[in-house]
Structure 1
Amino acid sequence: MVAAGGRGEEPTDMADPARARRLAKRIATIVATAIDHEIKDPRLAFVTVTDAKVTADLHDATVYYTVRGEDLDTEPDLAAAAAGLEKAKGVLRSKVGAGTGVRFTPTLTFVTDTVPDTARHMEELLERARAADEELAKAREGAAPAGEPDPYKEPRVRPDDGDDL
């Protein structure tokens, strides 16, 4: 089968993976900048864009974000941030189209990034494991083995010199 270009290649609708990564990085930058400087929705004041992924055909982009509270004691309002991003989706897509120059501007999907929460949970688990290790080390300090120091040591048996002959 001869492709549309006439070079005997199969037509592909998949982009170069490196190009997809560059486009995803550019989309993340454009969206983050627009949220910080151009979109005046107070629900987006504490939104941080963490990453973006683009499908192989460059038609769909997933933008990952986190939301923090106003201060350390305030829980983030994830529902309000999601609603604000959904409302701003059209404007953000227009900015992505103008900023990337690709033929087809990707659709944008916003997903809450769970990596920071997972990392925090893993740190808590590691801290618990360290504390348990310290307790075990303290309990082991003055302990002595029960019974023989090496209970698996086999007794040495010497053959009698006169019995084998």
Structure 2
Amino acid sequence: MKQRALRIAQMIKEVVGELLLTGLRDPRIGFVSISDVEVSGDLRLVKIYVSTMGTEVEKKATLDGLESAKGIIRSTIGKAISLRYTPDILILADNSIARGSELIDLMSKVTKPNDNKQE
């Protein structure tokens, strides 16, 4: 990404993070953290990657709540950051944290020392 797009992505991450903490009151939205924000080169599309906690049903409900709040999120971004066009928003689930913990579990199983083995 270009330097300006990186700066805009960081600003959007801060604005949306603050909105998630204070502004959205949808009961479907559970514990959410923004793991990454990507902005297209023309600044017209924003991909917001979120990681959620809970069961699969709770995760789906959280993503549905965020989807229904896209208008509010977009409006808040438009008010907070002065751009020629307010970007369209895609909210995507980021499962990298869950995959990372699964990999760590697998690695710990593989690297467990065998008590019967002698060197």
On whether the aligned pair clears a TM of 0.5, the verdict is yes
Higher strand fraction (1 or 2): 2
1:35 is aligned to 20
Higher helix fraction (1 or 2): 2
Structure 1 residue 45, shift from structure 2 partner: 3.1
RCO comparison, higher one (Cα < 8 Å, 6+): 2
2:91 is aligned to 110
Structure 1 residue 59, shift from structure 2 partner: 0.7
Report SS of the residue matched to 2:74: helix
Of 44, 47, 51, 2:32 maps to 47
Distance in 2 separating the partners of 1:138 and 1:103: 68
Distance in 1 separating the partners of 2:91 and 2:35: 11
Paired residue type of 1:90: G
Distance in 2 separating the partners of 1:21 and 1:115: 21
1:127 is aligned to 108
Distance in 2 separating the partners of 1:106 and 1:42: 26
1:80 is aligned to 61
Contact 2:35–2:50 (Cα < 8 Å) also in 1: yes
Aligned-pair Cα RMSD in Å: 1.5
1:139 is aligned to 117
Paired residue type of 1:59: R
Distance in 2 separating the partners of 1:50 and 1:98: 23
Contact 1:53–1:62 (Cα < 8 Å) also in 2: yes
Structure 1 residue 138, shift from structure 2 partner: 4.2
Whether 1:97 and 2:59 are equivalent positions in the alignment is: no
Of 37, 43, 59, 2:44 maps to 59
Structure 2: gaps spanning 5 or more residues:
none
**In the TM superposition, what are the counterparts of 1:14-25 in structure 2 within 5 Å?**
17-25=2-10
TM-score (norm 2): 0.91
TM-score (norm 1): 0.67
**How many residue pairs get matched?**
118
Paired residue type of 2:38: K
Segments ≥4 residues shifted beyond 2 Å = none
Paired residue type of 1:97: G
